[in-house]
Amino acid sequence: MIKNYLKEIEKLKSPISNEHTYRTPLENLLKSFAVKLYPNSNISIQQEVSAEKKITDYINFIYLTLDKNQIKIKNEISLYSKDLDNNIKILENMLEDFFVYKIKEIDKKDYFLSTLARKTNILKIYIELELENKESYLKNHIKGLFEDTIFNDLSDKDFADAFSQIISFSLLFYRLNERKNVDLNSFRNMPEYIPIFREFLSTINFDNLDENIRYVINLIIKSINSYDEKIFYDKLSYKERHDTDKEDPFIYAYEYFLKEFDSKTRNARGVFYTPIEAVRYIIKSIDEILKDRLNISDGIYGEEVHILDFAAGTGTFMLGAIERAFENAKKNGISGVWENIVSDFILKRLYGFEFLIVPYVLAHFRIHEYLKDLNYDYKKNDRLQLYLTNTLDNSAGGQVKMFPQMQAESDNAYRIKNEEPILVIMGNPPYNNKSEEINRKEWIENLLKDYKENLNEKKINLDDDYIKFIRFAHWKMENAEKGIIGIIVNNSFINGLTHREMRRKLMQTFDEIYILDLHGNVNKGERCPDGSMDFNIFNIKEVGVCIALFVKTGLKNNKNKGIYFNEVFGTQDYKKNYLIDKSIADEKWVELEDDKKWHWFTKVKSNEKYLKEFIGLTEIFNLFGSGCKTERDYITIHITEEELKNTILDFNNLSENKLTEKYNTKVSRDWSVDRAKKDIMENYKKYKFDLITKINYRPFDIRYTYYTGTSKGFLGTPSRKIGYNFINRKNIGLIFPRQIAGAYGFQHGLVSEFIIDVATGGAKTGSETYFAPLYLYEENSAGEFKLDSSCKPNWTDSFKEFLKNYISDNPKEILNYIYAILYSPTYRENYKEDLKYDYPRIPFTKDKKIFD
């Protein structure tokens, strides 16, 4: 709404503009916002004085409040600012506060959670702003204490995210726990079963916080207190709720809050609630393995069983283990001693690690409510062994003797990681396909090197967070005599080419490996065997998932040693129903044969002739690589040459601030306005528009870009060694994939006279684009390609030898033949399985008629 408002203001600007010119856009903005908040009410814009007022020149907004007959400025923001996105969020919250100043009782769960999320978001923004002041109480005391005891090297952004959620959910859970309204004093009286929060929050002097932060905290307090009590306790409580198949009210609350609070962070960190059907399948399977393979008759609550959920989230796996323990006790006829199960197993040998604040608090609260619902009476020093820690960071926390509970939290997490004899590791690690900055820790990065040994790959995509979690669990089991890992996880590791050493190392440690592939990569168009659409068991489309069970029995001669596989296709409901009453014992497992090269954890049918007699494209072309990755397509690639020239002139002539404002862009690792501007200025001075070149952006979609070859310049990753063979030169190259995913199989193979984009060949279908020039041009000693240099075919030495006795050694004829093979329906059908998993291999005929 606000961005549309700014566009309307821009349209109306003129030399004769006055105050009345802009009133209509402002009135439309206010009405739109009012209708959004009160869809069933008639809103009128009035001019009488009221308790809360906003003053604006249509770009700068001032929030005034009436306090004891004194007018005070509560906030000021400008929509002409580098930090436009933040200021838009602040203005949205200012407008909301304006419209709901006289707070009415909130009577809808979703509206309450949405309101709480928005206010928490504005609190986060103010916290970030306050952290810019290096002398502030927030920076030095609160953040410093948090880093000394819980998380090292926490960025200001991550702390603002964490602290804002601590404030909101501590108050919310206090009201749920104590059944009374909250105020600032509530922070000093948090539940004893979360001692770290009780201690941490009790140290904060809220009078020392910035006025805006205190103001928003008070708004949050008003929101929480205004929720209708009956709906509050009926909708967000375990009271008289025993059927855990029903929608979990706490999970719903958190999922909805997180979606409204910061869906980007949720998706970036891969935070998704695990379906209860998958949790029960894994827990039941672990219980059976403990009994049948490790000879522990009591299963999950056996005396030697120590269990760790390494990505505890909201405690769903921990609750699942608790339920299973009670079920076992009941079957064994000892349900009367269930309190002993709580004290000896649940509170002593069931551990959890969680990094995100709200899930951590929520997990404590859920399990506390669950046990309270069973009439368990928490004793004074009772607490779950659930700790606020980064699983992937093994550094010891600092020493803070003044805060014993926070010190204990850090020390216990470190002890469990390094000393506790964990027998079972379970959980649902993050689903993101890349690693968050907070998880790039030296310790786990060093452990990950074991998975990268001897790969000899140009790109090693093994830094995803889910792989790091697997490596952590693997490390714990390497040092144990026996153990089990039971997880639901991103399934790319079961058939990824660069994951082959990871699979080999897992096979060395575990004698039994079970993979239940649930598929579900919707974005890659996965299909069921009958051709219908396949869906994910989670509400995600970006990755497929699998249930993986790794068993280390400690037996020298295990007759069950091997890799076992099964798979399930279908709708989300079908997959959930499939899992609900099953376990490892119910599957029709197929034992996989290790091929000694790829070590697949999935069914692969390789053709021996294809592998031994055909020649791989990487054995043919000496130089090949990815296409250009611009990082900013909308700035660097244009449909017309004229549009591109205007952009080049902008980057040559405008200031960095003007460019940032005009192109609405931000800094990233591989692209920034200052580096792009520097690159353009240096090259435009020398070459003017001569570096404008065509680019094969998508199949049969030729556009224009400015190619300097500078890494992290105007183009983020220009693939210089390949690109310079095409700039102002006659050449042609083959575009091909390495690995194929999706319903339609191999439909790839293109040629281009121009440089290409990284996604030209179809990255969305799992086929990363590779590009091999037919000819290579010489470089001079300065690293510049000679404009008049001669070229030579881009063949490997081994392929040159092959061509000496072949039908033809003409480069274009060879390329034409390769291109024709890639488009042969017979070739695609006969070798469709092999084409899924590596660079294409080419059969070179000895029949000249076929070749021609």
738-744 mean pLDDT? 68
571 shares a domain with 438: yes
The owner of tokens 């040629």 is 751
Length of the chain: 852
693 shares a domain with 653: yes
Cα–Cα dist 238/367, whole Å: 10
pLDDT category, 242, cuts 50, 70, 90?
A: very low
CB-CB contact of 696 with 636 (8 Å) = no
Cα–Cα dist 638/630, whole Å: 12
Q: Range of 628's domain?
A: 618-851
798 domain-assigned: yes
Q: Which among 604, 626, 649 is the end of a domain?
A: 604
Q: Which among 604, 627, 653 is the end of a domain?
A: 604
686 shares a domain with 664: yes
335 domain-assigned: no
531 shares a domain with 653: no
pLDDT top residue among 598 and 703: 703
501 domain-assigned: yes
Residues 6 or more apart whose Cβ sits within 8 Å of residue 409: 149, 150, 195, 196, 387, 388, 389
pLDDT category, 232, cuts 50, 70, 90?
A: low
652 shares a domain with 596: no
Cα–Cα dist 494/488, whole Å: 13
133 domain-assigned: no
pLDDT (0 to 100) of residue 49: 38
659 shares a domain with 600: no
What would the DSSP string read from start to end of 738-798? S---STT-----EEESSEEBTTTT-GGGT---EEEESEEE-B-TTSPBPTT--EEE-B-HH
Q: Which CATH number goes with the domain that contains 487? A: 3.40.50
Least confidently predicted of 114-128, 519-533, 771-785, 795-809 = 771-785
494 shares a domain with 437: yes
pLDDT (0 to 100) of residue 245: 45
Q: Which pTM value belongs to this model?
A: 0.74
31-42 mean pLDDT? 60
pLDDT top residue among 817 and 330: 817
pLDDT category, 25, cuts 50, 70, 90?
A: confident
**Taking all residues of the chain, what is their mean pLDDT, rounded to a whole number?**
83
Q: What percent of the chain has pLDDT over 70?
A: 80
pLDDT (0 to 100) of residue 100: 56
CB-CB contact of 742 with 765 (8 Å) = yes
Least confidently predicted of 25-29, 514-518, 601-605, 832-836 = 25-29
Q: Has residue 743 got a pLDDT over 60?
A: no
In this predicted model, what pLDDT tens digit does every residue of 394-440 receive, in sequence order?
A: 887 666 666 788 788 888 999 999 999 999 999 999 876 555 666 67
In this predicted model, what pLDDT tens digit does every residue of 543-602 receive, in sequence order?
A: 899 999 999 999 988 999 999 999 999 999 999 999 998 999 999 999 999 988 889 999
754 domain-assigned: yes
Q: Has residue 475 got a pLDDT over 60?
A: yes
Q: What is the number of structural domains in the chain?
A: 2
DSSP helix/strand/coil, 112: helix
Q: Which among 604, 637, 663 is the end of a domain?
A: 604
637 shares a domain with 549: no
802 shares a domain with 762: yes
pLDDT top residue among 396 and 630: 630
Q: Has residue 55 got a pLDDT over 70?
A: no
195 domain-assigned: no
pLDDT (0 to 100) of residue 89: 72
701 domain-assigned: yes
642 shares a domain with 590: no
Residues 6 or more apart whose Cβ sits within 8 Å of residue 437: 155
